[in-house]
Amino acid sequence: MLKAVSLNTSPKVSSISRRFSFILIGVITFILIVFAAAVILFDINRIESDLESRLDNAIKLAQNSLPIPLWNLDYMVVNDFVEALFLDESIVYTKISWKNQIITEKHRNGFVLKNIGSNTQPKLQTESEYIAQSSDIFFKEKAIATILIMMSRESVKKQALLQIYGTVSLLILIVVAVWLTSIFITRRYISLPLLKLQGAASAIAQGDLETDVEKSGRDEIGMLARHLDVMRGSIKQLFAKLRESKEKLEEHSRTLEQQVESRTLELARSVDELKALGEISQVVNSTLDLETVLTRIVRHAVQLSKTDAGTIYEFDVKKQVFVPRINYGTSAEFVAALRDSKLRIGDQTVIGQAAVKRAPDQIADLSGVPDYPLPYTQQAGYRALLALPLLRENRLIGGLVVRRKAPGEFPVPVVDLLQTFAAQSVLAIHNAYLFREVEEKGRELEIANKHKSEFLANMSHELRTPLNAILGYTELILDNIYGDVSEKIREVLKRLEKNGRHLLSLINDVLDLSKIEAGRLTLSLNEYSIGEVIRAAVSSVEALAAEKNLELNVSISEKLANGQGDEQRIAQVLLNLLGNAIKFTETGAVGVEAVVSDNNFLVSVSDTGPGITDADQKKIFEEFHQADGSSTRQKGGTGLGLSISKKIVEMHGGRIWVESTLGEGSTFRFTLPLRVERQVEQP
């Protein structure tokens, strides 16, 4: 056994202690110096920033408070404002002036200004002594004065010096205290105990496990000594403890694996539930086939609840019975028995009780309910039942029942999950009900619209026949076929003929619209010349344009080829557009232009009328719609012309639109394919 090294002759350990003390003191001193410098610089910058902020706030206050007094020449308020500024002891000089005239000026005692020539701006004696800022004062965006404010940095310097003196003094005290404390602590509490501990450790390292270790210390070194003393016995028991720890670790590992497996199963079940809910939501939103949706709902409900069968009932309000709508996992005989059972609200079945409670109801074991109203349920092997009512705004519309062959209560998570499926079933049944209602209303509207179109077509034809007779007899009378007619009666007959033809035009419009809606209007496709159609239409409206002294301009390309389409209907569109342009234009001109563009005829009818608003441009092609405005009301009309023109153009496979600016006129354009081989069916 080695002899312990003498504690009094250990220069190496003593040297380490001293070096440790020097390094510790040096590091602490350096950190304190850096910290003190940073604190001083931070405080100086903070004080300087605070000074600039106060100066900026004083300028802004002046800009907000002085415009009205300065504009009103209320210098008493201005002087009071300057006096208020001097409540800040850092402000040493304030001047308010306009151009070369000083309105007010104030400075503290002892403050001296140096002017440069006639310039009223002060020259600072030393840039570091003061901080100054000037700004114009505006009243209603007009400069009415200039304010100059100067603040002294003297307070900054004083505070900075006090900060430096205090920080340096505190730094010196801390360094001295650290120095003395370090020397005392390292010698008494580190060096000497470590030397003793070194000797004991050396003996133990040589194999002397009986060496006495000084354990009287209560600090970390004393604790280290006690641990060193305990280490001798601990080494003997090391392998036993390692074996024990290994067994505990293995047991913990097995427990952890079980927990992970259990959690994995829970997560897998949650994923399955979410996937099922997502699939059901997708089906509910993507199809209105109630059988498909309810089948998927009941199938997922049975699978995720780990039951054997399920049924979705629909409640018949008239008969007050539950009708089984969808069954899953049940035999045909069982389904037939369910349909014959006539389950009602309040009976002793699980669905009847759930309907009364408006909440889920379950039977954990049918063997304990000998008088259950549906004996065939237990005969089919089912022992546990769970029913959930299907409610829509607290109105009963059905129920969901799942059956399990194993007895036992259904856990709360399963009940909650099935309530979600029940909610999806309610949504699906409600959507299907709404869809059936919409379909029924749609069929009724379709029949009504067809009857309306047929009625308009028949009535328009019945009205046109006698009206043509009236116009014919009127023309014969005007032609003196039945004898001479006096001028007074002739004027009345002319007005009668004019209004009759206007009425005939309106009836023709209604007849055309009703034919289009009833699908009875067909195009007569033949060769035609678009130029001749335009010239014929222009000739028909020349008299109308002449009555209003309007120019009628026609621009037709000479290279226009012949087209194929319904010439009469195309002429009807042109006459409608030209008639509208002349009707709504009081002065100026009406123009027609036709060109070929992208294998289409492009025809434009322009005018210099009042124009059409953006809102009306989107609606003027609708049936019975007229643009707002007094001019439109004065001109009259049914609002069918543009709608009929749009349908005729679209039947040719073209399109029609308007470009208009209020006060500048309008331009209606439509395109027609050069060759229309077949009529485009209207939706």
Which pLDDT band, with edges at 50, 70 and 90, does 508 fall under? low
Minimum mean pLDDT range among 32-41, 188-197, 268-277, 388-397: 268-277
Average pLDDT of the segment spanning 217-244:
68
Of 144, 102, 139, 142, whose CA–CA distance to 119 is shortest?
102
Distance, CA of 164 to CA of 158 (rounded, Å)? 10
Higher pLDDT, 621 or 424: 621
Instruction: Pick from 48-52, 174-178, 379-383 the range whose average pLDDT is largest.
Output: 379-383
What is 320-348 written as a DSSP string? TEEEEEEEES--HHHHHHHHHH-B-TTSS
Distance, CA of 282 to CA of 526 (rounded, Å)? 53
Q: Which amino acid is residue 320, in one-letter code?
A: Q
Distances (CA, A) of 558 to 229, 529, 551, 562, 627: 121, 11, 22, 11, 36
Q: For residue 7, is pLDDT > 50?
A: no
- Backbone region of residue 210 per phi and psi (left: phi > 0; alpha: psi in -120 to 50; beta: other values): alpha
Of 109, 92, 209, 111, whose CA–CA distance to 152 is shortest?
92
Higher pLDDT, 393 or 662: 662
Q: For residue 118, is pLDDT > 50?
A: no
Q: For residue 263, is pLDDT > 80?
A: no
Exposed, middle or buried by CB within 10 Å (0-12, 13-18, 19+), for 609? Answer: buried
| 400 backbone dihedrals φ, ψ, rounded to 5° | -120, 125
List, in sequence order, every residue forming a beta bridge with 311; answer none if it has no partner: 327, 401
* Whether 647 contacts 624, CB under 8 Å: no
Higher pLDDT, 106 or 257: 106
Q: For residue 171, is pLDDT > 50?
A: yes
Q: For residue 11, is pLDDT > 50?
A: no
Average pLDDT of the segment spanning 550-566:
88
The alpha-helical segments, DSSP class H, found in 479-566 are 487-518, 530-547
Which pLDDT band, with edges at 50, 70 and 90, does 509 fall under? low
Q: Which amino acid is residue 160, in one-letter code?
A: A
Buried-exposed string 194-232: b where 16+ CB fall within 10 A, e elsewhere? bbbbbbbbebbeeeeeebebbbebeeebbebbeebbeee
Query: First and final CA of the chain: distance in angstroms?
Result: 113
Q: How crowded is residue 566: how many other Cβ atoms within 10 Å of its Cβ?
A: 21
Q: For residue 512, is pLDDT > 70?
A: no
Q: Is the dihedral of CA 273, 278, 281, 287 positive or negative?
A: negative
| The pLDDT value given to residue 527 | 92
* Whether 542 contacts 592, CB under 8 Å: no
Distances (CA, A) of 471 to 456, 494, 519: 22, 10, 30
| The pLDDT value given to residue 595 | 92
Distance, CA of 501 to CA of 513 (rounded, Å)? 18
* Whether 569 contacts 648, CB under 8 Å: yes
Distance, CA of 503 to CA of 619 (rounded, Å)? 24
The token duo for 328 is 């899953």
Q: For residue 657, is pLDDT > 90?
A: yes
* Whether 402 contacts 309, CB under 8 Å: yes
Residue 333, C-beta contacts closer than 8 angstroms, at least 6 positions apart: none
Q: For residue 475, is pLDDT > 80?
A: no
| The pLDDT value given to residue 625 | 54
Distance, CA of 247 to CA of 242 (rounded, Å)? 9
The token duo for 270 is 């949650």
Average pLDDT of the segment spanning 484-502:
74
Average pLDDT of the segment spanning 541-563:
87
Q: How crowded is residue 86: how many other Cβ atoms within 10 Å of its Cβ?
A: 15
| The pLDDT value given to residue 461 | 59
Distance, CA of 284 to CA of 280 (rounded, Å)? 6
Exposed, middle or buried by CB within 10 Å (0-12, 13-18, 19+), for 178? Answer: middle
Q: Which helix (H) or strand (E) covers residue 207, if one does?
A: none
Of 578, 574, 557, 456, whose CA–CA distance to 506 is shortest?
456
Which pLDDT band, with edges at 50, 70 and 90, does 403 fall under? very high
Q: How crowded is residue 162: how many other Cβ atoms within 10 Å of its Cβ?
A: 11
Distance, CA of 315 to CA of 345 (rounded, Å)? 10
Cα angle at 292 between 291 and 297, to 5 degrees?
95
Residue 561, C-beta contacts closer than 8 angstroms, at least 6 positions apart: 596, 674
Q: What is the DSSP pairing of strand 321-328 with strand 143-152?
A: unpaired
Q: For residue 310, is pLDDT > 70?
A: yes
| The pLDDT value given to residue 668 | 94
| The pLDDT value given to residue 458 | 66
Distance, CA of 46 to CA of 36 (rounded, Å)? 15
Of 531, 529, 551, whose CA–CA distance to 542 is shortest?
551
* Whether 574 contacts 537, CB under 8 Å: yes
Q: For residue 624, is pLDDT > 90?
A: no
Distance, CA of 533 to CA of 573 (rounded, Å)? 11
| The pLDDT value given to residue 510 | 64
**Long-range CB pairs of 439-447, under 8 A, 24+ apart, other chains included:** none
Which pLDDT band, with edges at 50, 70 and 90, does 277 fall under? low
Minimum mean pLDDT range among 248-252, 440-444, 533-537: 440-444
| The pLDDT value given to residue 553 | 92
3-class secondary structure per residue, 395-431: EEEEEEEEEECCCCCCCHHHHHHHHHHHHHHHHHHHH
Average pLDDT of the segment spanning 312-341:
88
Q: For residue 114, is pLDDT > 70?
A: no
| The pLDDT value given to residue 13 | 43
For the chain, what percent of residues have pLDDT higher than 70?
Answer: 75
Q: Which amino acid is residue 314, in one-letter code?
A: E
| The pLDDT value given to residue 26 | 79
List, in sequence order, every residue forming a beta bridge with 363; answer none if it has no partner: 385
Average pLDDT of the segment spanning 158-181:
79
Which pLDDT band, with edges at 50, 70 and 90, does 245 fall under? confident
Residue 531, C-beta contacts closer than 8 angstroms, at least 6 positions apart: 556, 560, 594
Distance, CA of 77 to CA of 79 (rounded, Å)? 5
| The pLDDT value given to residue 447 | 74
Which pLDDT band, with edges at 50, 70 and 90, does 289 fall under? low
Higher pLDDT, 294 or 229: 294
Residue 484, C-beta contacts closer than 8 angstroms, at least 6 positions apart: none
Q: How crowded is residue 392: how many other Cβ atoms within 10 Å of its Cβ?
A: 14
Q: Can you say how many angstroms the Cα of residue 11 is from the centroid of all Cα atoms in its chain?
A: 78
Average pLDDT of the segment spanning 301-310:
86
Q: What is the CA radius of gyration of the chain?
A: 52
Q: Which amino acid is residue 323, in one-letter code?
A: V
For the chain, what percent of residues have pLDDT higher than 90?
Answer: 12
